[in-house]
Structure formats: C-alpha cells, structure tokens
Amino acid sequence: MGALREDAKYIYTRAIEAVLPDEAVRRALDGADFPGRVILVAAGKAAWRMASAAVSALGERIDTGIVITKYGHAQGTIPGIVCREAGHPVPDENSFSAAREALALTENLTADDTVLFLLSGGGSALFESPLVPGVELQDITAQLLACGADIVEINTIRKRLSAVKGGRFARHCAPAHVFAVILSDIVGDPVDMIASGPVSPDSSTCADALAAAEKYALRLSDTARGLLAQETPKTADNVTVRVTGSVRELCAAAAKACRDLGYTPEILTDCEQGVAREVGARLGALARENASCGTPRAFILGGETVVRLTGNGKGGRNQELALAAAAEIAGAENIVVFSVGSDGTDGPTDAAGGLADGGTVERLAAAGKTVADVLPNNDAYHALRDTGDLIITGPTGTNVNDFAAALVR
C-alpha cells in the first residue's frame, strides 16, 4: 500500500501545480490596455498568488492595491501592495476592515482609471462590507454552513446582505473600468456566484433568496429579511471579465498524472455536489467492485460536496469523503481513495483533505474508534490524524474546487 500512497501524493501534487494561477493571470493581462491609473484589488484564497503574478506582469503600471486573503495564505510582501489576512469561512472584523480599505482605494475614480480585480474562492467571507451588524452576518453565515445548503444557495443570500457583493462593488468603482480576472471555484463557473459576484450582474432573485431562507429555516432579523427582498444589480456595463482555471482543468490534470503512473483514468464527473460521506461511500464501493479487474484503474471526480453537521467534531468535506470510503475498502490491499481541496485547506483545519487505504479502518479501531461513530460527530480530522491519513499541503495559492480519486492496482 506504500506505493499506492506515493502514487496518490504524486497525482494530487501534479494536479494542483497544473492549476496554479500564475500563468493564467499573465495570459489574461496580455495585451490589456489600461490608459489611466490602475488600482489592484485581489480577494480570495488565491489572492496573494494572483496579485504577485499581476505585479510581475504589469510592474509600475499598478499605482496601488490591496490583497485580502485567508490567514496563513499570504506568502510575503508584494511591492506597492498592502496585504491583509482575514477570516474564512466566517467573516471577521479583519474581513470588514480590509473591505473598507479596498472601498477607500477605489473611491472617486475617473472613467480613464481601471480597477484590476483579481477574484478567487473564499472571497465571500474575506471581502465583506455587511449591511447588517457584523455579529448577525457571522451568525447567518454559520447557519448556512451548518444546514447543508449548497454554495449557490449560500451566496444568493450573502449577496443581499452585503454592500460589495452581487455587482455592488462594480457600481462603487464606476465610472472606472473594472477588469476582472476570476479563478473559478464553483461547478459550472457561474461568475456571479464565485465569491458572491462583487462585480458581476446577479442572476439570482429575491424569490430565490427568500425560498432558501425558508427552506433552511434561517434565523433572521427583520432587517436581514427585508434585505433579502431587495433586488441586486442586474447590469454591470463597466466590467470586463476573464474566467481562468476551473475544476475541469483540475480533473484533467489529475487524469494526466494518473496516466504518467500507468493508470487508466476515468473522470466520473467534474460537477459533484452531493453529500461528502455519501459520495465517499460510492467512490469506495466503485473501487471495491473493480479491485480484481487486473489493470491499474483510476476513478476521478471533481466538484464541491457538502457536509451536513450532525455533531460537534472537527473536519472538512474532503476528510469526510475519505473516511466514508475507508469503510468500503477495508482490508483491500490494492486500493487507495483520497480527496483534496485545491486550496490546501479543508474546512476549519490545517489539512487539505484525507486518504484511506485498506488498513485505515483497522488503524482506527486500534485508536478505539469506528467510522460509524466518527462520521455522525463530523470528527474526520481527529480520526484521520489517528490513522496517519491526513493530507497536509499547506496553502497552495490556488482555489478551483476539490477532487477525489480511487486508485486500483
């Protein structure tokens, strides 16, 4: 199983390297004409790396700027750019203060000026100017994360509670032109949902927001409920958008890495949005069914699963997926299943995801635990730590969803 585990590491390392935003940002900026001042605003978990690439490409053409990223994701200083770190997945006071700085930088611009807006997943929490008290927004965000809502439902609500989401930041920047380079972390690349679409016309409606609030029985103040009934901007005439990077590219890169190692890869889907533990069980069962096929196989899926919080443990969707797969492949000597977040962080943990092999369940039992006990408590992190199966990469500098793979030798 040691060789299989090394194969897994090679595959997720190569896949993530292939979707780093550096070259993509440079391509997006190639030939762009910015006649006046250029103000850089970068928000999201890949913000630092995107901003670094932009400064490398444009140099002194950038007058000033700000990076707003997750704690631990800034990788040093960038000449002429202020770097701020803030809370994710729940916004904190640093999210609010950094957004105020960005709003101040982009005030009183002219039609000749350009806001170079570099956006990646995580921006919903990191770049925030709430229209309700910050404490209430934090509570609503926590409710949304716990109830099993998908990212589109979550962002449909978040847009209406913010002064910078749902196209409102584009309006703030007018009459300046906004040149947006967006790294997609949502299945299907809907630009108005990525980080809640600060510069994109909003395709969702008040009816969608109110329906989601009712569906998940959210606790809302009268003010918040009133904001959900107020429509968001439906046009953004001062914006140019370049979408770069996606989970589709991540899965394709994983498939190439599998072929490098002699596996025959099959991409099952790049649109997975199911419940993490259910997806993991299915992937593990599929691997088990093919365990005696006689040829190396790799089954790959990408997307963003959801976690239903039924306990008070620690973990993330990728860790839950891997642990659920462990129960299906217990005892198998020729199977490994792993799941990783391309940004290097899975939930509120320091792990990118998790891995399971045929010995995971046995090692877990030696620690006095079972998969059946751990999953309802959402405590996959401690379980996989006990079995030596956490995947820890550190912040990667990109963010294009998650991918999982089952390897069969």
- Contact status, residue 408 vs residue 337, Cβ threshold 8 Å: no
Residue that is written with structure tokens 């992937």 in the block: 283
233, 166 Cβ separation under 8 angstroms: yes
Task: Determine contact, residues 391/324, Cβ cutoff 8 Å.
Answer: no
**What are φ and ψ of residue 118, in 5° steps?**
-110, 110
Q: Computed from CA positions of residues 181, 186, 187, 192, in that sequence, does the dihedral angle turn out positive or negative?
A: negative
Which is the CATH superfamily of the domain at 2-16+248-408? MOFRL domain (3.40.1480.10)
Boundaries of every domain in the chain:
2-16+248-408, 21-244
Q: Residue 251: how many CB atoms within 10 A of its CB?
A: 26
What kind of architecture, by CATH, is found in domain 21-244?
A: 3-Layer(aba) Sandwich (3.40)
SS3 category, 171: helix
Distance CA 146, CA 121 (A): 19
Res 26: pLDDT: 92
Q: Check residue 188 and give its pLDDT.
A: 85
pLDDT of residue 102: 98
Q: What is the pLDDT along the chain (409 residues), one digit of tens a residue?
A: 789 999 999 999 999 999 999 988 998 998 888 999 999 999 999 999 999 999 999 999 999 999 999 999 999 999 999 999 999 999 999 999 999 999 999 999 999 999 999 999 999 999 999 999 999 999 999 999 989 899 999 999 999 999 999 999 999 999 999 999 999 988 888 999 999 999 999 999 999 999 999 999 999 999 999 999 999 999 999 999 999 888 999 999 999 999 999 999 999 999 999 999 999 999 999 999 999 998 999 999 999 999 999 999 999 999 999 999 999 999 999 999 999 999 999 999 999 999 999 999 999 999 999 999 999 999 999 999 999 999 999 999 999 999 999 999 9
| Rounded CA separation 5/387 (Å) | 14
Q: Which residue has the tokens 């963003």?
A: 304
Asked if residue 354 lies in contact with residue 345, where contact means CB atoms within 8 angstroms, the answer is no
- Nearest CA to 280 out of 325, 240, 245, 318 is that of 325
Helix (H) or strand (E) holding 300: strand 297-303
pLDDT of residue 187: 84
For residue 214, count other CB atoms closer than 10 A to its CB: 9
In angstroms, the CA 409 to CA 298 distance is: 9
Whether the ω angle into residue 348 lies within 30 degrees of 0, i.e. cis, is no
Record the tokens describing residue 394, joined without a space: 């550190």
Peptide bond into 89 cis (omega under 30): yes
DSSP assignments along 227-277, one per residue? HHTSPPP---TTEEEEEE--HHHHHHHHHHHHHHTT-EEEEEEEEE-SBHH
The predicted model scores a pTM of 0.89
